[in-house]
Amino acid sequence: MGERLAGRVGVITGGASGIGLATARRFVDEGARVVLGDRNEGLLASVGEELGAAVATEVIDVTVEADVERLVARAVSTFGGLDLAVNCAGLGTLAPVSGHSLEEWSTVIGVCLTGTFLSVKHEARAMEETGGGGAIVNLASINAKVPAKGMSAYCSAKAGVEMLTRCAAMELGPKGIRVAGIGPGLVETPLTEYARLLPHIGQAYLESVPLGRVGAPDDIASAALFLVGDEASWVSGETLYVDGAESTNGYPDLVTLAAGG
């Protein structure tokens, strides 16, 4: 237990799993009270039970503006304000650009980019209203700058998230609100289960990481804790790549590997 976030109130989207869940545990451990938003009702309920009174939960879809407003309003009504936010809700697909359905493209852009926009919009409004400033962290990916075969929608969405972070930081800085990003490399979460189920894909990822291991959700939670905390009080607009130097290498060719190559 620490006190780095004592007295602070946060929201975390995608807080029921993976990176969002690890971040929630870390923030609560450091004294914060947090509202977790996720569309997975079952997982959210068990996380709420695990973390107890320091946590409230809202079943939300980040692509629905009224849901995001409700999530942010819950932080104010239950815990009295909003100081911190980490926007983790995300998903991906695998399809070559010439065969990508518009529906899947729109889903990925909708959740990863539009969902992050809606989150930043309402989190910033709540922080502006309380007048005390705040810190917002958006989950991008190494795919914001490293292209990957079969992942055009995800890469485009994450590049958009990185630019959204810069634009929001520019606009919100005068109000004392910092906006930063995290660009993880491969982290072991339910999102990347395919890399554990298909060992040749897992091996290809491992070989692309100069530091010789893939990431754990706690690696990203540590970066989020730094970015929302006082030690980062002059950090805004940047996306911090937390990837074991994976982004210095090309991305594994998932299309060929998934086909058994």
Ligand X SMILES: NC(=O)c1ccc[n+]([C@@H]2O[C@H](COP(=O)([O-])OP(=O)(O)OC[C@H]3O[C@@H](n4cnc5c(N)ncnc54)[C@H](O)[C@@H]3O)[C@@H](O)[C@H]2O)c1
Site for ligand X in 112-151 (CB under 6 A): 115, 139, 141
Under rule CB under 6 A, residue 187 binds ligand X: yes
Q: In three state form, how does the secondary structure of the chain look?
A: CCCCCCCCEEEEECCCCHHHHHHHHHHHHCCCEEEEEECCHHHHHHHHHHHHHHEEEEECCCCCHHHHHHHHHHHHHHHCCCCEEEECCCCCCCECHHHCCHHHHHHHHHHHHHHHHHHHHHHHHHHHHHCCCEEEEEECCHHHCCCCCCEHHHHHHHHHHHHHHHHHHHHHHHHCEEEEEEEECCECCHHHCHHHHCHHHHHHHHHCCCCCCCECHHHHHHHHHHHHCHHHCCCCCCEEEECCCHHHCCCCCHHHHHCCC
Under rule CB under 6 A, residue 71 binds ligand X: no
**Least gap, CB of 88 to ligand X (angstroms):** 4
Quick one: which segment of 126-134, 164-172, 190-198, 228-236 binds ligand X (CB under 6 A)? 190-198
**Least gap, CB of 8 to ligand X (angstroms):** 21
Nearer to ligand X, 174 or 212 (CB): 212
The yes-or-no answer on residue 194 being catalytic is: no
**Least gap, CB of 226 to ligand X (angstroms):** 16
Among 63, 165, 236, 239, binds ligand X (CB under 6 A): 63
Residues labelled catalytic? 154
- Residues lying near ligand X in the complex (CB under 6 A): 13-14, 16-20, 38-40, 60-63, 88-91, 111, 115, 139, 141, 184, 186-187, 189-192
